[in-house]
Each structure stands twice: as C-alpha cells, then as structure tokens.
Amino acid sequence: MGLNLDPLRVDFGDGDVLSTLQLPHRVFDAVLRDSQLEGVPFRRTEIGQAAIAATPANAAALLHADPGSLVFGAWDSTGLGAGSRPSTKWARALTCEISATRVEPVSLAGNRLDPIGIEGTEQAWVEERDGTLRQATADELRPTKEGGLPRRGSAQRDYPRLIKASEANHGNSLSLISKGVLVHGDITLNATLSLSRLRRYSFGNETEQGRVLLALMGLYGVLAMLNDGLDLRSGCDLAVESYQIDLIGLGTRDPLTVTLSDVAAALCDQVNAVSLHAPVRFIPSQGLRDLRNASRRFASPSRYICAGRTPPPIWRPGWCRSWLVSVIWAVRTRRSSSRRRMPRT
C-alpha cells in the first residue's frame, strides 16, 4: 500500500512519472510549473494557487499537496513572465551534515542534475509575458534586426523573448569547485530534525496531526538512509557502525530507542490522520515537451528517479507524539576502505 506522501505528479506518458519528492525544488519546481491539469498551468490551478498562497500560519494547503516541501524545504523562486518575483521561503526542518577528522582538501564537481535530462545552451526557447515557455520558430531565432525576438539579457526588455533552458531553471548545472576532502580519520553523520521549526506551522484543525506526520517523515527518511547505506560517490560508500537518537530540550538530552519498522508503522498510521490530496497527474506543457524532446536528440536522457518505499503496516509505537523540542542523531559511520574522497554537505 502506497502512502501518497507525494500526491502531485508529472506524467510524460512514456513511463516517466515524476513526483514532488523527485523534483529538486519540490512543489515549486520548474517541471511542475510548466505542466498542466486539463489545460490549465499548475500555478493557475486551484491546488497550485493554494500551495503558493500558503503561509506558516495557514500551511494546510501545502501540507495536503506536498508535505515534503515542509520537511525538506522549498522556495517559490522559479516564476516566469513579467512581474514574477521570488516569493515564500520554507526553511527545511531536516538537515544532515557529514564531518570527518584528519582531512585534506580536494577539488570536486558540484552539479545540479536535471531529472528529465534537459540539455542545451542556446537561447532557443520563448518566454511569453504570462510565463508560458515554448520552442522558438526559425523566424523568431533570426537576429533582432532581421525581425527575430530579443534575447534575455539584452538592452531590449520586452516579451516574448528568447531564453536558454537554464534561464528557465531547466537543465544541468556543472562546475568544478574546491569543496571536498580526502579523509584519513573518522567520519560522523549528524542529522537534525527541528521540531521547533515544525511547531511554527499551523494546519487548522489538523495542526497536531500534521506536525507528527512531518516529524515521522523526517525520522523515517534518516533511518531508511542509514539502513540502505550511503553511496556518496564512486569509491565512497559509508556503512553504519552504530547510531544514537537523542531528544534534546532545554538542558535535557534523552535517548530514544526506535527501529525503522517502528517508525514505518507509525508513519502508515499517521497518514490516515491527515487529509492528503488524492494523487493528481499533471501533463507537461507543449513547451516542456519540446524542450525535453529536443534535448534527447543530442544525448540520452539521464534518469535520476529514486525507487519508492512502502513501509510495512506494523503496530504504532507509544512514543509517537508532538515533541516541542529538537531531535539530533549522532551516527557513527565507517568508510568502506582506508582512503576515500568525502564531499562536504
């Protein structure tokens, strides 16, 4: 039985279905922005407008449409068209950090990988005034002096205009940066789930149930990650030797003993206490289809789709309740060999 924690999906019709848990910017991602429901762009649908209008004091719409945005964070910053401005930021409640001892710096690639494999650096796409994205015609690609459309970044600021896929928040972002270390000592992973952050959100008459659901999502995510092991990069696999879960309050630190199956059972139970949206499948706009298909002509699409996880329906543990404090995991890990490159996060 699926948990439906990601009710918003984009169906490309060829076997590729992406949910908000797979999109980099979740409910505000460019892929969902450029998709439609019965011909209406996502941001103009009832569910889209409700998610955009959500605030910490009234976040029920976002909880029902995409609870992952509240756990992992989201930022409404991908709007297109005249008058579009970055809007609400939702700070992540779950953070993970890997630290190590006896290290030396190395250069690593810092990449943003597009989930549908869009590539290309030419300004071959048209941004309309209303934010619609479509593929440019041959006449529109001609120089401006010959009747073509203006380019984004030129002195002429008008719509429609030509833009790159990357300027519409699509495509891969590749760079080589000095951000990484070669580890000679120990590696420790610290994950923090801030329940004080979740306490800032109100969900109407589902406030307590919603906070518990989000906390269980974060806890389950961390324990499942540790259970699967961490495949950080080629030649850098981390295996867990031991872990500890602490409940930290004002001047207190109490250990909690729970297992992955305990949390999975509680999460299955808690989903039924919150009115999540039924699954909604959006269809990519013609502009997004053209962008994706044109990219596939030059290279095979990259697939970065995570396998779904279905927790088993076991008993609900008695510890599951709304804590008004933060939870910190100190997870001791070991490297799979004596010398491995270790990226900082």
Contact between 41 and 285 (Cβ < 8 Å): yes
Decide if pLDDT at 307 tops 90: no
Are residues 159 and 301 part of one domain?
no
Are residues 338 and 257 part of one domain?
yes
Are residues 140 and 283 part of one domain?
no
Structure-model confidence comparison of residues 118 and 213, the more confident one: 213
Per the structure, the count of domains in the chain is 2
pLDDT given for residue 80 in this prediction: 66
Phi, psi of 108, deg, nearest 5: -130, 160
pLDDT given for residue 69 in this prediction: 96
Are residues 156 and 38 part of one domain?
no
Residue 208 lies in a domain: yes
What's CA 90's distance to the chain center, in Å?
12
> Length of the chain in residues, anyone?
345
Condensed to tens digits (0 to 9), the pLDDT of residues 231-289 reads 877 777 888 888 899 999 888 989 988 999 999 999 999 999 999 999 999 999 999 98
Are residues 152 and 63 part of one domain?
no
Residue 2 lies in a domain: no
pLDDT given for residue 121 in this prediction: 67
Structure-model confidence comparison of residues 89 and 61, the more confident one: 61
Lowest pLDDT segment from 2-11, 196-205, 301-310: 301-310
pLDDT given for residue 280 in this prediction: 95
Residue 1 lies in a domain: no
* pLDDT confidence band for 315 (50 / 70 / 90): very low
Are residues 152 and 283 part of one domain?
no
Condensed to tens digits (0 to 9), the pLDDT of residues 152-211 reads 876 666 788 888 887 887 877 766 666 667 888 888 899 999 999 999 999 999 999 999
Are residues 150 and 233 part of one domain?
no
For residues 129-156, give the mean pLDDT: 83
Are residues 279 and 135 part of one domain?
no
Distance (Å, rounded) from C-alpha 26 to C-alpha 52? Answer: 12
- 100, 131, 164 - which closes a domain: 164
Q: Which residue has the tokens 């996502």?
A: 42
Residue 3 lies in a domain: no
Distance of CA 287 to CAs 34, 42, 92, 225, 304, Å? 8, 14, 31, 36, 22
Residue 196, classed as helix, strand or coil, is: helix
Are residues 295 and 204 part of one domain?
yes
Are residues 241 and 277 part of one domain?
yes
Residue 157 lies in a domain: yes
Contact between 294 and 286 (Cβ < 8 Å): no
* pLDDT above 90: percentage of residues in the chain: 41
Condensed to tens digits (0 to 9), the pLDDT of residues 17-76 reads 999 999 989 999 999 999 999 999 999 999 999 999 999 999 999 999 999 999 999 988
Are residues 258 and 136 part of one domain?
no
* pLDDT above 70: percentage of residues in the chain: 76
* pLDDT confidence band for 86 (50 / 70 / 90): low
Are residues 158 and 82 part of one domain?
no
Give residue 143's domain range: 122-164
